[in-house]
Amino acid sequence: MPTTVEFIIATPVLASLDIERSVEFFCSKLGFVKIHADKGTYGIVSSGSVSIHFWACNDPRIAEATGCRVGVQGIEALFAQCQRHGIVHPNAPLAKAPWGNHEFAILDPDGNLITFYEPAAV
């Protein structure tokens, strides 16, 4: 008997060279709330329905080759907030992507690329 499956949420898990620093960055710069921070092991931040997890990593090359995409509403306000904190990636300012989203990116302290996007109005 066939069953229908619907995926409803994804939770990025990013490499972190310093769990406490990662959690603090997302809380202080982006307004997330600290859920858990276990030094040298694992961390979690949350905002609304979005959670981001961090696993302890000793190799900066892993974090520098990792990223995620986070959908938002109010991208202009978030972009302005990130500009004030000086964390917008210099090669990824707010722009309309060829696939229709408005998006921009930041780098966290470990080099993870976080792209924020909002679907363009139809």
How far apart (Å, rounded) are the C-alpha atoms in residues 71 and 55?
22
Percent of the chain with pLDDT over 90: 89
pLDDT on residue 1: 59
Closest CA to 46 of 54, 30, 35, 37: 35
pLDDT on residue 4: 86
Tally Cβ neighbours within 10 Å of residue 40. Answer: 10
Give residue for tokens 């904190």. Answer: 85
- Write out pLDDT tens, residues 22-78: 999 999 999 999 999 999 999 999 999 999 999 999 999 999 999 999 999 999 999
Closest CA to 41 of 10, 69, 13: 13
Confidence of residue 122 (pLDDT cuts 50, 70, 90): low
Q: For residue 79, is pLDDT > 60?
A: yes
Closest CA to 29 of 109, 107, 85, 112: 85
How far apart (Å, rounded) are the C-alpha atoms in residues 111 and 65?
8
pTM greater than the 0.95 cutoff: no
Domain positions in the chain are 13-119
pLDDT on residue 121: 74
The per-residue pLDDT of the chain, averaged, comes to: 94
- What is 13-119's CATH topology? 2,3-Dihydroxybiphenyl 1,2-Dioxygenase; domain 1 (3.10.180)
